[in-house]
Amino acid sequence: MTFGFPLGLVALAAAAPILVAYFLRRKQPPRVVSALFLWRSPDQRAEAGPKLQRFSREVSLLLELCAVVAAAAFLSDAHCGGGASKKHLVAVVDGSLSMQAKSGGKTAADRVRDQLAKLVGAEGVGQLTLIESGLKPTVLAGPQAEVSRALADLERWVPSQPAHDVGPALLVARELAGGKGNKVHFLTDGPLAEGALVPPEVEVLSVGEPVDNVALLSAQRTDVEGEASVTVRVANFSKAERTVVLQLGPRTREVELAAGGTSVVQAKLPAAGPIVVALPDDALAIDGNVTLLPSPPPATKVVLLGGLDPNAGAALRRALAVVPGVTVSTALQPDSLTVGPPGSSAEVTLGAAAPPKSYLGPFFAQKGNPLLEDVQLSGAIWTAGPNPVGRSLMSAGDAVLIAEEEDGRLHFNLDVGRSNVQRTVAWPILVSNLVRRARLSLPGLPRRHLMLGEDVPVTTAPGAAYVLKGPGALQRPVLGVGPVTLPAVTVPGRWALWREGEEVDALEVLPLDPRESDLRSRGPYTVKASAAEGLASIALKQPRSLWPLVVLLALLLVDYWVTARGGAR
């Protein structure tokens, strides 16, 4: 048996005056009658003697004592069985990376678990719904899960998301709580972001502590000819100057940081396997330890087909010579980028048919197309022929200079021998963009390192099933063919791309976010809900049990019947 209001048991003290009243002698005034036979039930009480006597109405006394017990059970909100409470509580926990910050031997996530357990016990909650805020709100437990199971699920919770808007999670929580007017608890570790949408039904409880922290802001690696170039930015989020030892693979380096300042560290290391970059453990250890995977430039094969204009071939060779990882040949190879003359089956055609016509501008390029990124043709002379097939990517007047077909084939309507485009800065940029476009079309992961919160680019080939597998048992299927962009993953670490049960590529999601590493503004505070609980919220609460009240009324009726019957006799 459980009691929702244990102070109601004080009502049991009413049994004492009832017992005293039954033990006291009750003296009544004499009654005069004309004959003795009129006394059907002689009164056994004496008109004189001791004040305390043995009572004679045991049944009535027992009924009244039972009525006192029933009244106490009603006032104390007694429930039989373990599932008495049906009160539903909805709580949102902050899934930000900063919740792993440790202070006083406990992380902010641990303090959230403790506070939530206290809240559940104080309010007599029987059902609990837990939601984690993040880039996408996630239901950790529930809806309306048993308290023990929900708290057990919370023990396995590891907050690791970047800074985000908590508004969507709070709106979802309000709907799961029953709509407007129903209280929702939000547990976090610091002040809400400026402009954050917080419904009036939300009560905010912060359990964070302001602490100093030294963190990595960014880490990059590029491998060229067996040498890895590593660039790291370190920040000091504390009130005093700090000197820390930065580990860069097998080497260490001391870094001096001013209060609130940053420092950039560059190093050349052997490009052999992953490189660990680490800082000494502090309040938030996760943002001071990253692993950089090997990042050699992708190997791209460019094949120049026969029939290509010699001037065009020479211009292409000069531009491709400065692009890392590119090899040029004339023999067809698998997964190669083919360039040929107009009318050929090459993926990229370069040349112009007669009659040629030269254009000095202005040149109109399709905005946002990656192929034309940073390409400036001011002062260039472009000689073109009749318009090629496909949609226009660049034009001058009524002439289409670059076109793209539906299957991705490109046509450069350019007579290199009569133009000066190949002698401008726009030419190597245009060729580099072309190589990048070809690399992005190859199956795999175009990038080796992503910051926490960045979308994941993936390129898939038709006829195969791809899965992105992360730390633990996390999996995310890749749907689509060709370049696909997946939503940002919520767990940092190594993520591998698997094709038909075989790992083909991998990337590292770095747990770095400057907004989460700055712990100086964290601290405890409470913001009460500004909206009063509505009728829907009251209806969700467990009502006081009515069975003791029914028992109480039944006992009083029986006692009245017993007493009245005895009086009639």
Q: Do the beta carbons of residue 400 and residue 440 sit within 8 Å? A: no
Report the pLDDT value the prediction gives residue 540, as an integer from 0 to 100.
44
Short-list 167, 206, 211, CA closest to 190: 206
Domains of the chain by residue range: 2-83+545-568, 88-210+521-540, 300-440, 449-510
Distance CA 232, CA 96 (A): 23
247 is written with which tokens?
A: 């580990």
Structure tokens that stand for 565 in this block: 């019957």
Return the CATH number of 88-210+521-540, one of 3.90.25.10, 3.40.50.410, 3.40.630.30, 3.40.50.300: 3.40.50.410
CA distances from 530 to 361, 444, 508 (A): 63, 51, 43
H or E segment to which residue 108 belongs? helix 108-123
String of b and e for 274-295 (b: at least 16 CB within 10 Å)? ebebbbeebbbbbbbbbbbeeb
Please provide residue 392's backbone torsions phi and psi, each rounded to the nearest 5 degrees: -80, 130
The CATH code of the domain at 449-510 is: 2.60.40
* Separation of first and last alpha carbons in the chain: 42
Specify the DSSP element, H or E, that contains 431: helix 426-440
Query: SS3 for 437?
Result: helix
pLDDT value, residue 289: 95
Could you tell me if residue 101 is left (phi over 0), alpha (psi between -120 and 50 degrees) or otherwise beta?
beta
Q: Starting at the edge strand that comes first in sequence, how are the strands of the sheet with 289-292 ordered?
A: 251-257, 242-248, 275-278, 289-292
Burial of residue 227 (CB within 10 Å: 0-12, 13-18, 19+) is: exposed
Q: How many alpha carbons lie under 13 Å from residue 272 in its C-beta half-sphere?
A: 4
Distances (CA, A) of 502 to 274, 281, 469, 514: 21, 36, 11, 36
Which is it for the CA torsion 483, 489, 495, 496, positive or negative? negative
Q: Is the peptide bond before 143 cis (omega within 30 degrees of 0)?
A: yes
CATH architecture assignment, domain 300-440: 3-Layer(aba) Sandwich (3.40)
Q: What angle do CA 123, 129, 133 make, to 5 degrees?
A: 115
The residues pairing with 467 across neighbouring beta strands, listed in sequence order, are 477, 498
Closest to 266 measured CA to CA, from 256, 279, 253, 276 = 253
pLDDT at 233: 96
Strands 336-340 and 300-304: parallel
Which distant-in-sequence residues (6+ apart) come within 8 Å of 44 by Cβ? 56
Q: What are phi and psi of 114, to 5 degrees?
A: -65, -45
Question: Which tokens is 26 given?
Answer: 């009750």
Of 220, 230, 286, 282, the closest CA to residue 493 belongs to 286
Asked if 158 and 511 count as a contact pair (C-beta separation under 8 A), the reply is no
List of residues 6+ apart from 70 with CB closer than 8 A: 548, 549, 551, 552, 555
Strands of the sheet containing 475-478, edge to edge, are 449-451, 502-510, 493-499, 466-469, 475-478
DSSP string, 452-499: TT--EEEEE-TT--EEEE-STT-EEEE-SSEEEEEPPPSS-EEEEEEE
Going from the first residue of the chain to its last (569 residues), give the mean pLDDT of each consecutive group of 10, the final group possibly shorter: 70 80 62 64 49 61 81 76 67 94 92 93 88 93 89 93 92 86 89 83 92 94 91 94 94 94 94 93 93 89 92 94 88 87 93 92 89 90 94 93 93 94 93 92 90 92 92 89 89 94 94 93 87 45 68 80 63
Please say whether the dihedral angle defined by the alpha carbons of residues 350, 351, 357 and 358, taken in this order, is positive or negative. Answer: positive
Contact 441, 483 (CB under 8 A): yes
Identify the CA nearest to 432 among candidates 322, 346, 299. Answer: 322
Both tokens of 397, joined, read 């007047």
Beta bridge partners of 303: 329, 338
Give the chain's length: 569
Are domains 88-210+521-540 and 449-510 of this chain identical in fold?
A: no
pLDDT recorded at residue 536: 37
